[in-house]
């Protein structure tokens, strides 16, 4: 029962607003010392040292650096503006461009906040001006911005892989098809809206398109897409082809992003310092959480928490599939209140050994959880994408518009999750093909 009280205490403190990393570590230390005395300190330093010296996690700051550098160099802006003009002739073209660019930025950066803010600043005012339905516009931008959670090189997938002790390369391969299934479902939704409610997604005026064509359209398209696509191919291609490990490919991505920024004349001292500051800030947050999670995992298992859960599941005769659905439901509900990083370090260390005990493939489970994590960015009241968009939304766009707009996309994400649950080959196809 001490393990149960530990979990309840940690979750209660988080809901009260206490910092996650210090809550995980502090509460765990209190429970650990009360249960094991000073003997706890014989194990705790080794557990923490083993976690923070994991070579796989070196990929985290490198991928963060790559994403922040691309965002601050203006490459993301050019992609969005060019894509909007390419699809501008058709109804829903601007919404389609937001989703396509969101997928490309996910494959190039994996930084959700930067993607949502960039697209919110550039697209939302234009969509509102063109007569787009405001909730639909907000939902499209928020949903497209969260694609970085599941499309490689996702930071969330790196953390899931480290907790489940599976290959980052495998989880990247496994998440590729499910990620683009989600993109396809988003696009299908916009197309249906364009067919049956065309007044909500108007086309771009002819004069804007004519102006675009006058400004050396071919050159602009090549520059807007060739540079970031070359970086995506270099990073993901080196992983999928087995040329480089995910950590090594992250270094390639960081260097490549710096070279692209230099080629565009955007690599100034001020911007370089801003990129390094943001990278250090985000990386420090992740690793402090990792230390707290290591303490929590050690004490929870020491108190017999995982054994108690396995015994309880066996007693009520719960099947592996039912347990999988239960865990995903818990993660979905938890996403209403806490961030995916917190879920990763609180819930996954508990359920991981149980999935293994039940014989479920952790690669498949990890991709499902990565898909589920997207909802933690979209679900009210604490979805971070909603707050990111609200912070840059033009006058007249309220939080109510944003909340209403994300509901259809949350339903679409649940449909995508169910597709991957009932068709596991969507996860296993690429790893099997490239393993031959």
Q: Give the whole-angstrom CA distance, residue 259 versus residue 320.
A: 48
Residue spans of the domains in the chain: they are 57-267+304-435
How many residues belong to the chain?
A: 436
Q: Give the whole-angstrom CA distance, residue 227 versus residue 82.
A: 13
pLDDT at 367: 93
pLDDT at 280: 86
What band does 49 get if pLDDT is binned at 50, 70 and 90?
A: confident
pLDDT digits (tens, 9 = 90+) for 26-37: 888 888 888 777
pLDDT, greater one: 204 or 345: 345
The H-assigned helical ranges of 123-167 are: 124-129, 134-145, 155-164
Asked if 67 and 187 touch (Cβ cutoff 8 Å), the reply is no
**How far, CA to CA in Å, does 99 sit from each of 112, 115, 180, 187, 265?**
13, 11, 11, 7, 28
Q: Tokens standing for 351?
A: 């359920």
Angle between helices 269-302 and 155-164 (to 10 degrees): 30
Checking if the pLDDT of 60 tops 70, the result is yes
3-state helix, strand, coil split of the chain in percent (to 5) is: 80, 0, 20
Q: Give the whole-angstrom CA distance, residue 240 versus residue 252.
A: 14
Distance from CA of residue 140 to its chain's centroid?
A: 16
- Please give the DSSP secondary-structure letter assigned to residue 398: -
Asked if 283 and 60 touch (Cβ cutoff 8 Å), the reply is yes
Angle (CA) 252-245-147 rounded to 5° is: 70
Burial annotation 97-113 (CB, 10 A radius, 16+ → b, else e)? bbbbbbbbbbbbbbbbb
pLDDT at 266: 79
Checking if the pLDDT of 168 tops 90, the result is no
pLDDT digits (tens, 9 = 90+) for 285-336: 777 777 777 777 777 777 777 677 667 766 777 788 888 888 888 888 777 7
Please provide the average confidence, as pLDDT, over all residues in the chain.
Answer: 79
Which positions ≥6 away from 375 have C-beta within 8 Å?
A: 332, 335, 410, 413, 414
pLDDT digits (tens, 9 = 90+) for 67-90: 778 777 777 667 776 776 777 667
Asked if 349 and 297 touch (Cβ cutoff 8 Å), the reply is yes
Q: Give the whole-angstrom CA distance, residue 58 versus residue 247.
A: 6
Q: Give the whole-angstrom CA distance, residue 91 versus residue 80.
A: 17
**How far, CA to CA in Å, does 407 sit from each of 139, 288, 336, 388?**
8, 33, 13, 17
pLDDT digits (tens, 9 = 90+) for 213-238: 666 666 667 766 777 777 777 877 77
**pLDDT above 90 as % of the chain:** 9
Checking if the pLDDT of 365 tops 90, the result is yes
Q: Averaged over 372-388, what is the pLDDT?
A: 75
């Amino acid at each position: 029962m001490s393990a149960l009280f530990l979990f309840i205490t940690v979750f209660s403190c988080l809901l009260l607003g206490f910092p996650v990393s210090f809550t995980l570590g502090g509460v765990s230390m209190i429970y650990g010392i009360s249960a094991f005395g000073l003997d706890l300190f014989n194990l705790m330093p080794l557990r923490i040292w083993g976690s923070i010296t994991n070579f796989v996690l070196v990929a985290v700051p490198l991928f963060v650096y790559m994403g922040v550098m691309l965002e601050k160099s203006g490459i993301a802006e050019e992609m969005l503006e060019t894509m909007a003009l390419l699809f501008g002739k058709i109804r829903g073209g601007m919404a389609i461009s937001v989703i396509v660019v969101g997928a490309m930025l996910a494959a190039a950066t994996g930084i959700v906040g930067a993607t949502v803010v960039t697209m919110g600043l550039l697209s939302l005012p234009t969509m509102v001006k063109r007569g787009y339905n405001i909730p639909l516009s907000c939902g499209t931008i928020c949903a497209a911005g969260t694609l970085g959670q599941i499309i490689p090189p996702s930071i969330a997938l790196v953390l899931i892989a480290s907790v489940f002790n599976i290959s980052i390369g495998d989880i990247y391969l496994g998440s590729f098809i499910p990620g683009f299934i989600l993109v396809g479902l988003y696009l299908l939704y916009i197309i249906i809206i364009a067919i049956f409610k065309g007044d909500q997604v108007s086309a771009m005026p002819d004069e804007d398109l004519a102006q675009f064509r006058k400004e050396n359209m071919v050159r602009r398209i090549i520059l807007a897409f060739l540079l970031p696509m070359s970086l995506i191919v270099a990073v993901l291609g080196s992983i999928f082809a087995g040329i480089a490990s995910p950590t090594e490919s992250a270094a390639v991505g960081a260097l490549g992003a710096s070279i692209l920024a230099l080629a565009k004349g955007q690599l100034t001292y001020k911007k370089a310092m801003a990129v390094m500051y943001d990278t250090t800030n985000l990386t420090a947050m992740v690793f402090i959480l990792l230390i707290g999670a290591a303490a929590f995992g050690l004490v929870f298992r020491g108190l017999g928490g995982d054994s108690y859960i396995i015994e309880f599941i066996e007693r009520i005769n719960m099947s592996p599939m039912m347990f999988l659905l239960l865990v995903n439901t818990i993660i979905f509900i938890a996403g209403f209140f806490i961030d995916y990083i917190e879920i990763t370090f609180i819930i996954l260390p508990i359920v991981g050994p149980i999935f293994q005990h039940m014989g479920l493939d952790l690669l498949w489970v990890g991709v499902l959880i990565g898909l589920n994590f997207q909802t933690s960015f979209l679900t009210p009241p604490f979805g971070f994408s909603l707050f990111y968009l609200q912070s840059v939304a033009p006058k007249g766009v309220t939080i109510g518009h944003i909340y209403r707009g994300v509901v259809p996309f949350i339903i679409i994400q649940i449909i995508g999750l169910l597709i991957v649950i009932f068709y596991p080959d969507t996860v296993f196809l690429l790893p099997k093909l490239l393993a031959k």
